[in-house]
């Protein structure tokens, strides 16, 4: 991803960079990792580490259940993670701004 486009929308690319998106695979009836204190009743979320801010953010799945949108707290770079078939079950991501 091009770090010179701060503040614009980006989609996280897969390992090969093909398709311009990273599909997140949600497993189980509730769909993915659940928030809360272990009760399993929270919304699915990702942990995203933004290198430029040196901060982790918890990013909740959007209301329609199609993805996650993260924004760096320092530079404002935005990244979309799309939920879809054939994706990854990873829940932790590290991004360079």
For residue 26, what pLDDT band results from cuts at 50, 70 and 90? low
Give the whole-angstrom CA distance, residue 77 versus residue 88: 22
**pLDDT > 90: what percent of the chain?**
48
Give the whole-angstrom CA distance, residue 97 versus residue 95: 6
What pLDDT is attached to residue 23?
Answer: 63
DSSP code per residue over 73-97: TTT--EEEEEE-TT-B---EEEE--
Compare 54 and 40 and report the one with higher pLDDT: 54
What pLDDT is attached to residue 42?
Answer: 81
Task: Express each pLDDT in 44-90 by its tens digit.
Answer: 999 999 999 999 999 999 999 999 999 999 999 999 999 988 888 89
What pLDDT is attached to residue 9?
Answer: 43
Indicate if the pLDDT at residue 11 is higher than 80.
no
Compare 35 and 44 and report the one with higher pLDDT: 44
| 68's tokens | 């996650």
Q: Confirm if 43 and 61 have CB atoms less than 8 A apart.
A: yes
């Amino acid at each position: 991803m091009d770090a010179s486009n701060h503040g614009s929308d980006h989609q996280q690319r897969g390992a090969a960079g093909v398709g311009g998106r990273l599909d997140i695979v949600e497993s189980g009836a509730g769909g993915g990792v659940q928030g809360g204190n272990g009760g399993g009743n929270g919304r699915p979320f990702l942990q995203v580490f933004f290198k430029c801010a040196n901060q982790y953010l918890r990013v909740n799945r959007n209301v329609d259940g199609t993805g996650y949108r993260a924004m760096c707290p320092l530079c404002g770079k935005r990244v979309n993670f799309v939920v879809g078939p054939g994706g990854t079950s990873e829940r932790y991501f590290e991004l360079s701004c």
